[in-house]
Amino acid sequence: MLDSRVTTIKGVGEALEEKLNQLHIYTVRDLIYTFPSRYDHHQILPLSELIHEQKATIQGTIVADSLVSFFGKKKSRLTFPLQVGDVIVKVIMFNRHFLKTQLQAGKTVTVTGKWDQYRQQLTAEHHFLGEKGPDEPIEPVYLLKQVVPSKRFKKLIKQALEQVEGQLDEFLPDTYMTKYKLISLAYALKQMHFPESFKHLKQAKRRLVYDELLLFQLKLQAIKKFNRERTTGVKKQPDFELVQQFIHALPFTLTDAQMKAMKQIQADLTSPYRMHRLLQGDVGSGKTIVAAIGIYLTHTAGSQSALMVPTEILAEQHYQGFCQLFKDTLHIELLTGSVKGKKRREILAGLASGEVDVVIGTHALIQAEVDFDSLGFVVIDEQHRFGVNQRKVLREKGMDPDVLFMTATPIPRTLAITSFGDMDVSIIDEMPVGRKPVETFWVKDTMLDRILAFIEKEVNKGHQAYIVTPLIEGSDKMDIQNAVDLYQQLAVYYDSRVLIGLLHGRMTNDEKDAVMKEFTEGKRDVLVSTTVIEVGVNVPNATVMVIYDAERFGLSQLHQLRGRVGRSDTQSYCILIADPKGDVGKERMRVMTETTNGFELAEYDLKLRGPGDFFGKKQSGLPEFRLADLVEDYRTLETARRDATDIIYGDLLDNDLDYAPLKQHVETILKQYQQGFD
């Protein structure tokens, strides 16, 4: 019944159904779970509790007959003095002159409207005669986009609730109902739509938020467990001695955090489970080497590895780095969209025969034509740049390699346990020794001369600089123009004292590579660029990052950009040119100058922008919750996660009848997952 069409509700025909569909309401359940977006408060309060400029409801006795004055065309203003307690306030109503006969001296009336503390007056929108007051002290307000009138909608909900009464079976086990003192599902739903009091409403919300988060966590945990059990993946047998030698030969010592992450990866690789792990670490924390060790482990165990990155520039750079790192021990190839013809065929053949040990590339790697001899390990760098789909493609290709996702965007804990709850997580929360935090300044563009002089000074010391201009979706042409213009202006300004390069997304790959190569080799001092360089680019000699119109970027993105400098033991600088209008914008710039901790910035960004915006909606793969708020309901989220783990890994699901509804729920989820609806 709950899942039947809305037309099963009395009074809903095809025409109304169509309208409800516009609100994404298809079933009775959808209707009942369409909650008010807010509640207006009509509770009668004493004057002392009213707040200036806010909506309020007061009750009193009219002291003198209403006065009406007309102004403009057909506009009117009705006023009367109202005695509330010992005070007489003025009530004003616009365009209600016809009420003059009703609102007479001696009558008791309840009025709702905006309260003006200083003038002691209320501009009323509603009034109710008599002492009874408003019918709905708490008025639910639905977001109906004018598709259905609100009165009609409320009637529908009432009807629906009546019709399914008795079918809203409790699905939470008693244990949790008692432990958290939750109200029943049926009662909670009723209170959401027809709240008796704010206290009831709060209880209802608490109950339903828990439901939502528990079901979500159950899904993640169930899938995680399922994946673990399904894939008795290949248990690799690496040559640990060789790997130790390799680590000892590195030009630096691994940080403790890197060591720990490496051990976790090693444990996954050598276990019968299939790795599904996220490696999280701030920019410059040294994730690549950890992945490289994993790749070497895999190689000594006789399997191939693939490293997938979001841009060609990054692929090229990793390729160079890996070639240097592994010299002659590994056969490494670069495979991107621009590798064509004979070379491409050779690489593909090498992968299929097993002659190639490691392939590095963009998403071209997971295209249909690519076959491996024995792909054992896949590393996906900057994973948030990849859609959920690309991960799925790998799986659908029937390949079950161990997979390591890496991200330099520090993911707030809140998001990490939700969107990546089905992964294991390793965190590198420690920087290699000797790194100096990047000094960050926020200036207005009136300081440009000084900035340019500063860049020149750094260049004269043998260092390099980036200048980034924003690129905005939809109008990128204009912004590339910005980079181009700036490039030309600077070329004139610096004459030939400073050599400038230009990099943007409209250049061909060959052009981009050429510029990057020149910059990496120090043949260009300054690189004027759009955010193409945001991800992963590593030129340790660069010490200055100037970001134009910094207020247009998210904090995490600014942090990424800033991470392009400070990659050696030389002091580096980040200069944010910004003139933000609002307080939030100013606050964001201030925060950037005050912390270089990516996790702190990420938490802050999440609070400011909300989870949807955090990665960009499409990429986030985050569910849209009806009630839960990942920031506000963080504690409930953690509780729900703990409970879900207990439920999934415990034996009550199978042995306790009280858990039967949840068991059924989990079974449905897994069935859908296997059919590819995840």
The binding site for ligand ADP (CB under 6 A) comprises 252, 254-255, 258, 281, 283-289, 408, 432, 538, 540, 567
Measured from the CB atom, is 203 or 317 closer to ligand ADP?
A: 317
Name the strand (E) or helix (H) holding 240: helix 240-248
Least distance between ligand ADP and beta carbon 459 (Å): 21
Q: Which of Mg ion, ligand ADP, none sits in contact with 647, Cβ below 5 to 8 A by type?
A: none
Q: Does 432 bind Mg ion (CB under 5 A)?
A: no
HEC per residue, 29-78: HHHHCCCCCEEEECCECCHHHCCCCCEEEEEEEECCCCEEEEECCCEEEE
How many helices, marked H, and strands, marked E, lie in the chain?
Answer: 23, 21
CB atoms within 10 A of CB 144: 17
Eight-class DSSP state of 536: T
Measured from the CB atom, is 289 or 578 closer to ligand ADP?
A: 289
Q: Which of ligand ADP, Mg ion, none sits in contact with 432, Cβ below 5 to 8 A by type?
A: ligand ADP
Query: CB–CB of 502/487 below 8 Å?
Result: yes
Q: Is the CA virtual torsion 32, 642, 382, 607 positive or negative?
A: positive
Contacts (Cβ under 8 Å, ≥6 apart) of 352? 371, 372, 373
Least distance between Mg ion and beta carbon 594 (Å): 25
Q: Which two tokens stand for residue 310?
A: 């979001």
Residue 550 corresponds to which amino acid?
Answer: A
Q: Which of ligand ADP, Mg ion, none sits in contact with 295, Cβ below 5 to 8 A by type?
A: none
Site string for Mg ion, 506-545 (x = CB under 5 A): ------------------------------x---------
In whole angstroms, give the CA distance from residue 248 to residue 296. 13
Residue nearest to Mg ion (CB): 536
Q: Which of ligand ADP, Mg ion, none sits in contact with 407, Cβ below 5 to 8 A by type?
A: none
Least distance between Mg ion and beta carbon 382 (Å): 7
Q: Which of ligand ADP, Mg ion, none sits in contact with 554, Cβ below 5 to 8 A by type?
A: none
Q: Which of Mg ion, ligand ADP, none sits in contact with 285, Cβ below 5 to 8 A by type?
A: ligand ADP
Q: Which of ligand ADP, Mg ion, none sits in contact with 283, Cβ below 5 to 8 A by type?
A: ligand ADP
Measured from the CB atom, is 407 or 482 closer to ligand ADP?
A: 407
Q: Is the CA virtual torsion 226, 229, 232, 237 positive or negative?
A: positive
Which candidate, 84, 92, 90, 93, places its Cα nearest to that of 47? Answer: 84
First to last CA, the chain: 25
Q: Is the CA virtual torsion 358, 360, 364, 365 positive or negative?
A: positive
Measured from the CB atom, is 297 or 535 closer to ligand ADP?
A: 535
Name the strand (E) or helix (H) holding 141: strand 138-141
Interface with Mg ion (CB under 5 A), residue total 1
Least distance between ligand ADP and beta carbon 283 (Å): 4
Measured from the CB atom, is 326 or 372 closer to ligand ADP?
A: 326
Measured from the CB atom, is 397 or 517 closer to ligand ADP?
A: 517
Cα radius of gyration (the chain): 32
> Packing angle between helix 198-230 and helix 634-649, nearest 10 degrees?
40
Measured from the CB atom, is 350 or 536 closer to Mg ion?
A: 536
Least distance between ligand ADP and beta carbon 414 (Å): 22
> Packing angle between helix 598-615 and helix 555-562, nearest 10 degrees?
130
Least distance between ligand ADP and beta carbon 287 (Å): 4
CA distances in angstroms from 509 to 348, 370, 522, listed in the order given: 21, 22, 20
Measured from the CB atom, is 361 or 536 closer to Mg ion?
A: 536
Measured from the CB atom, is 195 or 286 closer to ligand ADP?
A: 286
Q: Which of Mg ion, ligand ADP, none sits in contact with 281, Cβ below 5 to 8 A by type?
A: ligand ADP
Q: Which of Mg ion, ligand ADP, none sits in contact with 289, Cβ below 5 to 8 A by type?
A: ligand ADP
In whole angstroms, give the CA distance from residue 592 to residue 286. 22
Least distance between ligand ADP and beta carbon 505 (Å): 22
Q: Which two tokens stand for residue 87?
A: 């005070």
Measured from the CB atom, is 320 or 338 closer to ligand ADP?
A: 320
Residue nearest to ligand ADP (CB): 286
Q: Which of ligand ADP, Mg ion, none sits in contact with 401, Cβ below 5 to 8 A by type?
A: none
Instruction: Please report, as ranges, the residues that interact with Mg ion according to CB under 5 A.
Output: 536
